[in-house]
Amino acid sequence: MKGIWGRLLDIDLTSGRTGEIAIPEKTAVKYLGGRGLGARLLFDLLPANIDPLSADNILIFLTGPFTGSMVPGSSKFVVVTKSPLTGGWCDSYSSGKISLEIKKAGYDGLVIRGRANHPCYLQIDDGGVEIRDAGRIWGMDSFQAEKTLKELEGNASAGVSSIGPAGEKLCSYACINSDFYRQAARGGVGTVMGHKRLKAIVAKGSSHCEFHNRKKVIELNRANYERAKVSQVFQARSKYGTPLTLNFTLTGGILPTRNFQFGTWEKALGKIDSVGVYKSAKSHRSCQSCFVHCSLITEVDEGKYKGTTLEGPEYETLGMFGSNLLIDSLPTIIQANVLCDKLGLDTISAGNVIGFAMECFEKGIISEREVGFPLSWGSGQAAVKLIEQMALHEGFGAVLADGSMRASQKIGQGSEEFAIHVMGQDLPMHDPRLEPGLGLVYIADATPGRHNQANSFIPPEGLEIGFQKEVGDQVGRGRYLKILSNLFHVLQASGACQFGLLSTTFEYLHESLSAVTGHPFSFQEVLDCGERIATIRQAFNIREGINFLGYQIPWRAYGNPPLESGPLKNVTVKIDMLLQEYLEEMGWSKDAATPHKRRLHELGLDFLANHLYQEG
Ligand code: SF4
């Protein structure tokens, strides 16, 4: 198959041995790359029931067939591992130059095993990989580490991914930072990297992978751009970026506010919404290979954070540190965001767990005596202080360093009721009450509590979804999730950004895949590929003893009890009905969500049939 090299770097940090893993053609056609290939590799290579923070865990970085092509938004890579937050399957997606440079070095990704006995980093180029000493950069924040490594390697244009002190100190929601402001943030992928004592990966290559039909790729891109140009979604996203989502969620009454207690917060308007962020923006920036340029570069003009610059903040961070903590100061949110990026924290989990702690403080469950300072709603100073403590595992921050579920287990006194997470993964700023399909994604996807695994708010143009997008009408969303999540699995196996797809028509994905790889993908084949990926991820969790049908639901976010006012008054997500619809559509068993044997064979997953049904 074109579009990939068919080989991965294989690195064992315990022994220091390095080698290569070949990807056979038929494996590439079945799983593509990214999340798809990662699903097969992690299932095959990881022993069952290992501790995520042990040398046995594996960290896999993967590009996709689109990486290095001219497909818009194709600078994404995925990190795959077993999550220290949920104890199950984890993939986390990020933009980053590193994906293009790994590909240019002649590899589709890397498999990292074992644990180094001293801090190290990986240096990758056309000649392969070297494990180098990171004693000098261990302890640095991610920005310093990236800058220092580029200087050390004498290559300002290298791709660098690194962890900050939060990863080194094993904060459970540590992220992996790339190009200073881009993160593979969720699930604790940076924690696993820190446990391996792997500070960073530096890559620089000079080869170009062959694509099947470059002319067709250019033609498709041109048509896509022409279509996107006249799309209102594209125009708005290009101008305002993701902060526009805050206006949408605020108006819709689904802007999580005060630790998910309310769905709207008027004080955000003009200050921390798209208008407020746009006023502070100095320019726009795009990830490499993308015409959407949805990132805004902001700068604080006055006050104690004057001069702080950021690529962002994105919607999730604005909401988590804004409405969720009742902070209406954009400079404070920018400062909180930069701190999280430098220290290597996922802003979603960080903001969520601080919201949980503020509610504990309000209710008198914790006091200034335990925390060391007042932890009142709206206190930017307290939030910034806690971010530092959580990353460094110091003071009261150490109690919050493993997410809201574990913090509530430590604090007790009924606080479990308002820890807003699924299986230890803190919920993001997408309230499922307006789009109940998202409430289903939070439970039924193999990575619980994640909003980017199937964005059911804005389906790609032309996709027949067969349900009424009206508040209260929940029937059919379970069925629709199968199609949408399968598309997203393939998108993230290909190495492209979801915003590219959401700005165009659904045909674009299989047409571009065919042009890049030379394999004639039909829409149905893309859906089957997505289902294959969903099925392996689910089987991985089953092997780990995880059954999503038994998850504890964060009822506050699911509308039980329902809100008493606003557009979502009296709405409760009918999660049992949605789960049943989804199980039926997937053909998974109603008690343990086990994939059906016949379907496993139809999808070419005979190895899973052997595993789940002891065949052969
Ligand atoms: S749409 Fe935005 S996030 Fe996605 S690749 Fe383009 S610039 Fe990056």
Measure the CA angle with vertex 168, ends 327 and 368; round to 5°: 40
Residue 425 predicted with pLDDT over 80: yes
Counting residues of the chain whose pLDDT is more than 70, the rounded percentage is 96
73 CB less than 6 Å from ligand 1? yes
Interstrand relation of 159-162 and 198-203 (parallel, antiparallel or unpaired): antiparallel
74 CB less than 6 Å from ligand 1? no
Q: Do residues 198 and 238 share a domain?
A: no
239 CB less than 6 Å from ligand 1? no
Is residue 262 helix, strand or coil? strand
Q: Domain boundary at 357, 390, 421, which?
A: 421
Q: Do residues 471 and 365 share a domain?
A: no
Q: Which helix (H) or strand (E) holds 432?
A: none
Q: Do residues 133 and 248 share a domain?
A: no
Q: Is residue 285 situated within a structural domain?
A: yes
pLDDT for 435: 81
Question: pLDDT of 45-89, one tens digit each?
Answer: 999 999 999 999 999 999 999 998 888 888 899 999 999 999 999
Q: Do residues 405 and 292 share a domain?
A: yes
Q: Do residues 486 and 406 share a domain?
A: no
Q: Is residue 317 situated within a structural domain?
A: yes
Omega cis (within 30) before 448: no
Report residue 469's pLDDT band, with 50, 70 and 90 as the boundaries.
low
Residue 466 predicted with pLDDT over 90: no
pLDDT for 616: 58
Q: How far is the CA of 241 from the centre of ligand 1 (A)?
A: 9
Give CA–CA dist 121/74, Å, rounded.
25
Nearest CA to ligand 1 atom 4: 497
287 CB less than 6 Å from ligand 1? yes
Q: Domain boundary at 398, 421, 444, which?
A: 421
Domain total for the chain? 3
Nearest to 501 by CA among 484, 482, 517: 484
CATH number at residue 56: 3.60.9.10
83 CB less than 6 Å from ligand 1? no
User: Residue 89 corresponds to which amino acid?
Assistant: W
pLDDT for 227: 82
Phi-psi region of 223 (alpha: psi -120 to 50; beta: other; left: phi over 0): alpha
Give the mean model confidence (pLDDT) for residues 353-365. Answer: 98
Give CA–CA dist 21/26, Å, rounded.
15
C-beta separation of 355 from 316 below 8 A:
no
484 CB less than 6 Å from ligand 1? no
295 CB less than 6 Å from ligand 1? yes
CATH number at residue 370: 1.10.569.10
Q: How far is the CA of 115 from the centre of ligand 1 (A)?
A: 33
Residue 504 predicted with pLDDT over 90: no
User: Residue 322 corresponds to which amino acid?
Assistant: G
CATH number at residue 598: 1.10.599.10
Q: Is residue 107 situated within a structural domain?
A: yes
Phi-psi region of 210 (alpha: psi -120 to 50; beta: other; left: phi over 0): beta
C-beta separation of 121 from 13 below 8 A:
no
Give CA–CA dist 593/586, Å, rounded.
9
Phi-psi region of 156 (alpha: psi -120 to 50; beta: other; left: phi over 0): alpha
Q: Domain boundary at 357, 389, 421, which?
A: 421
Q: Which atom of ligand 1 is nearest to the CA of 286?
A: 7
Q: How far is the CA of 285 from the centre of ligand 1 (A)?
A: 9
Residue 598 main-chain phi, psi, to 5 deg: -60, -45
Q: Is residue 211 situated within a structural domain?
A: no
Domain that holds residue 160: 7-203
Nearest to 591 by CA among 581, 583, 603: 583
Report residue 229's pLDDT band, with 50, 70 and 90 as the boundaries.
confident
Q: Is residue 429 situated within a structural domain?
A: no
Q: How far is the CA of 70 from the centre of ligand 1 (A)?
A: 13
Q: Do residues 287 and 170 share a domain?
A: no
Give bridge partners of residue 345 from the DSSP assignment.
174
292 CB less than 6 Å from ligand 1? yes
Question: pLDDT of 175-206, one tens digit each?
Answer: 999 999 999 999 999 999 999 999 999 999 99
Q: Is residue 220 situated within a structural domain?
A: no
Q: Do residues 406 and 495 share a domain?
A: no
Q: Do residues 403 and 440 share a domain?
A: no
Q: Do residues 348 and 412 share a domain?
A: yes
Tokens of 121: 């980093």
Q: Is residue 209 situated within a structural domain?
A: no
Give CA–CA dist 187/348, Å, rounded.
11
pLDDT for 471: 55
Nearest to 424 by CA among 401, 440, 441: 401
Question: pLDDT of 156-166, one tens digit each?
Answer: 999 999 999 99
Q: Do residues 410 and 440 share a domain?
A: no
Q: Is residue 236 situated within a structural domain?
A: yes
Report residue 417's pLDDT band, with 50, 70 and 90 as the boundaries.
very high
Q: Do residues 76 and 193 share a domain?
A: yes
Q: Do residues 163 and 57 share a domain?
A: yes
pLDDT for 501: 64
Tokens of 241: 């970026």
pLDDT for 31: 97
Q: How far is the CA of 477 from the centre of ligand 1 (A)?
A: 27
Nearest to 108 by CA among 257, 22, 248, 5: 5
Q: How far is the CA of 165 from the centre of ligand 1 (A)?
A: 27
Interstrand relation of 59-62 and 176-178 (parallel, antiparallel or unpaired): unpaired
293 CB less than 6 Å from ligand 1? yes
Q: How far is the CA of 237 from the centre of ligand 1 (A)?
A: 10
228 CB less than 6 Å from ligand 1? no
